[in-house]
Amino acid sequence: MADGVNRSEIRLSATGTSIVYETDALFPFMVVFKPAWMNAISLEPYTCATDAFNLPLPEEDTGAKAIRAGETLDFKWEIRLSKGEGWNE
């Protein structure tokens, strides 16, 4: 993706392996979710802050935006795996 995108990366230090998640400007927020019941991490791109429509903040800060009937949104995202030197297949 081009410059100016939002980029998040999870790197496994033991292997140098990385998961890179890039989104366009439509997703200015990224939530990292770590469930207590599992050894896992989830990256979740958000178009607005959690509970944005109920926050006492302006739309510019929360990203809250209504979508009209029939309106469409086009977005791009990309996930890549970068194998480090310690990678074992």
Q: What tens-digit pLDDT sequence spans the chain (89 residues)?
A: 456 688 888 888 888 888 888 998 888 888 888 999 998 888 888 889 999 999 999 988 998 888 899 999 888 889 998 886 655 55
Return the closest-CA partner of residue 42 out of 14, 72, 21: 21
Confidence (pLDDT) at 42: 84
61: which residues sit within 8 A by CB, 6+ positions away? 49, 55
**Which residues of 1-89 form beta strands (DSSP E)?**
6-12, 17-23, 29-33, 42-46, 77-82
Confidence (pLDDT) at 71: 93
CA pair distance 54, 32, nearest whole angstrom: 21
Are the CB atoms for 18 and 89 separated by under 8 Å? no
Confidence (pLDDT) at 15: 82
Confidence (pLDDT) at 87: 55
